[in-house]
Amino acid sequence: MKKKLVVLTGAGISQESGIPTFRDADGLWEGYDVMDVASPEGWARDPEMVLDFYNQRRKQVLAVNPNPGHDIIAGLEDHFDVTVITQNIDDLHERAGSSNILHLHGSIFESRSHSDPDRIYKVGGEELNWGDNDEFGNQLRPNVVWFGEMVPLMEVATQEVEKAEVFIVVGTSLAVYPAAGLVEYVADAVPKYVVDPNIPGIRKTPNLHLVSKKASIGLKIVKEAILDS
């Protein structure tokens, strides 16, 4: 039976494919204040701007490809029972071949009813526009978790992390909660690897291994370590 491997990924892994990180040093996302395009208040103020913003991000994702970091994670399924928990809203893990993925913050390729978050739809084509409604006439919005909203898959993610026999964190600052708190649910005896060029602040915990490298290089190091263990 394969060991259970859980990988928590953030913006740093997709950055190597050419997707800018969600939040850079000046608090902007592609020139927009994140609260204008990633909050219920921003949606209420100017939904058409928000829709256009995500249309541009969707086209951006479609124009790039998975990188070696994504490929390494997908390849680990040959050796482990892998669950990927990602904070990213792109589909690069899917395109790399990973088969069990939890999108904590939603997917840019899905829409949902403004009135009922349980009514979720695939985005047909590249654009989601004002006037695109569900079957009940309610406007569709990106199926993305915005600031101030609940993270529906947190309970499922926590259950996966609790079952981990190996745990890897890659490309995330561990600064965005509640996702950052998942590491607290990993058992002390479980090997934990954190891969990031700038190692985030993380409390001292047993079996913690810090790899100060970008995702593709760091994951190659981690792969060799866990296959040899």
Active site residues: 105
Cis peptide before 178 (omega within 30 of 0): yes
d(CA 183, CA 16): 24
- Collect all residues with Cβ–Cβ distance below 8 Å to 41 and sequence separation of at least 6: 35, 148
Note the helical H segments in the chain: 11-15, 34-37, 40-45, 47-62, 68-75, 92-96, 154-162, 215-228
DSSP state of 93: H
Residues 102/126, Cβ–Cβ less than 8 Å: no
Torsional class of 159: left (φ above 0), alpha (ψ -120 to 50), beta (otherwise): alpha
